[in-house]
Structure 1
């Protein structure tokens, strides 16, 4: 870890030092909800507490309460938006810091995020073109995959 610390921008290093100075006085522990917010894994501290209460935060394999004390070396798993973030605590901080500083406070072992599907927007009409005609509507439904293969040959869903 010492090699990684030498490659840090001096401004980032100063911000890390300030954040650590604002950390716990005895240097041992920080609340998990506070830490995941401080290192920008979650947007608000209350959202961090809610995630803990909902069972979305695990520390060393155990579901934890928001008040759980973190220590350096702990593995934190945070489930959010359908993906899991897995981080190892490197530094304990209480104050929220900028992103370049935040990434110095943990080792990210998360799997890569799933690729965003490069899908063209289907069936978006230009504004001001008026109401779609029946032909336009059928074309939009076909593009969106909403047609179920016909309606029994009657031409409309009512069937009469």
Structure 2
């Protein structure tokens, strides 16, 4: 299939459709929902799903506590494979380094409750009660 990507400076597309075509979200409704909730910003300001993005716009996209800062490099009306979707944006170097740092932090993070197994013992319960009585 021939995917027509427009990289002209005047090219524009609805932001929810662009986010879907660029494969940040699986469906347009998920993209529109994220835009409505303020998780997508154009040049630092929250927008509505009908807002048109242009080539060159700077977007900040938050997905599951992961923040992407990307510059729109092109627009495409249809959703294509990942190789085509990656041609629609350029991620900023700061964003790339922050995502790598966040990924490393998540990989090395240890859940504090991971060492606990099952219910507290009678002794643990006494310690808990003693601590909570101090309120």
Rounded to whole Å, the distance in 1 between the matches of 2:52 and 2:61 is 16
Rounded to whole Å, the distance in 2 between the matches of 1:57 and 1:142 is 34
Q: Provide the TM-score with structure 2 as the length reference.
A: 0.71
Higher relative contact order (CA 8 A, sep 6+): 2
Show structure 1 runs of 4+ deviating over 4 A: 145-149
Kindly state the Cα deviation for residue 19 of structure 1 after the two structures are TM-superposed.
2.9
Kindly state the Cα deviation for residue 62 of structure 1 after the two structures are TM-superposed.
1.1
Report the number of matched residues.
116
Kindly state the Cα deviation for residue 20 of structure 1 after the two structures are TM-superposed.
2.0
Q: Is the 8 A contact 1:32 1:66 kept in 2?
A: yes
**Structure with more strand by fraction:** 2
Rounded to whole Å, the distance in 2 between the matches of 1:30 and 1:38 is 10
**Structure with more helix by fraction:** 2
Q: Is the 8 A contact 1:76 1:88 kept in 2?
A: yes
Q: Provide the TM-score with structure 1 as the length reference.
A: 0.61
Segments of 5+ residues of structure 1 without an aligned counterpart are 1-13, 121-140, 154-160
CA RMSD of aligned residues (A): 3.3
